């Protein structure tokens, strides 16, 4: 009649930190077509996917938008894009 005596106890569960909430959604042109990029408040990129997906439509439904990302705060985050692509980009401010 074994009731588990002598067996090692499982390790304690460690709660991992969750990723912060994305604050900005960019729809920016590229050579392969429009791309959607997600950024944190710190301007750190946390995601990139095709801008034609249904998720982009859902995220932008109630978001406010502006055109252009030519400010110096975006220089590092968007360094792989030309000035024309950055000027034509649509920037959405996501609700938190």
Average pLDDT, the chain: 88
In this model, does residue 74 exceed pLDDT 60?
yes
pLDDT (0 to 100) of residue 18: 81
The dihedral over CA atoms of 36, 20, 55, 70, expressed in degrees to the nearest 10, equals -30
Q: Where are the domains of the chain?
A: 24-93
Of 37, 18, 21, nearest in space to 29 by CA: 37
Using one digit for the tens of pLDDT, what is the confidence trace for 20-35?
889 999 999 888 889 9
In this model, does residue 1 exceed pLDDT 70?
no
In this model, does residue 44 exceed pLDDT 60?
yes
- Determine the Cα angle at 20 with ends 18 and 22, to 5°: 135
Edge-to-edge strands of the sheet including 45-50?
A: 45-50, 35-39, 24-28, 90-93, 64-67
Would the pTM of this model clear 0.85, i.e. be above it? no
Residue whose entry in the numeric block shows the structure tokens 């912060």: 20
Contact between 34 and 51 under an 8 Å Cβ cutoff? The reply is yes
Summarize the confidence of residues 78-86 as an average pLDDT.
90
* HSE value, Cβ hemisphere, 13 Å, CA-based, for 75: 3
pLDDT (0 to 100) of residue 32: 81
């Amino acid at each position: 009649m074994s009731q588990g005596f002598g067996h090692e106890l499982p390790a304690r569960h460690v709660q991992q930190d969750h990723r912060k909430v994305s604050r900005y959604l960019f729809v920016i042109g590229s050579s392969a077509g429009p791309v959607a990029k997600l950024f944190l408040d710190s301007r750190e990129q946390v995601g990139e996917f095709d801008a034609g997906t249904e998720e982009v439509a859902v995220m932008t439904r109630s978001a406010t938008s502006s055109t252009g990302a030519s400010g110096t705060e975006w220089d590092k985050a968007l360094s792989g894009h030309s000035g024309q692509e950055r000027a034509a980009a649509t920037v959405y401010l996501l609700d938190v």
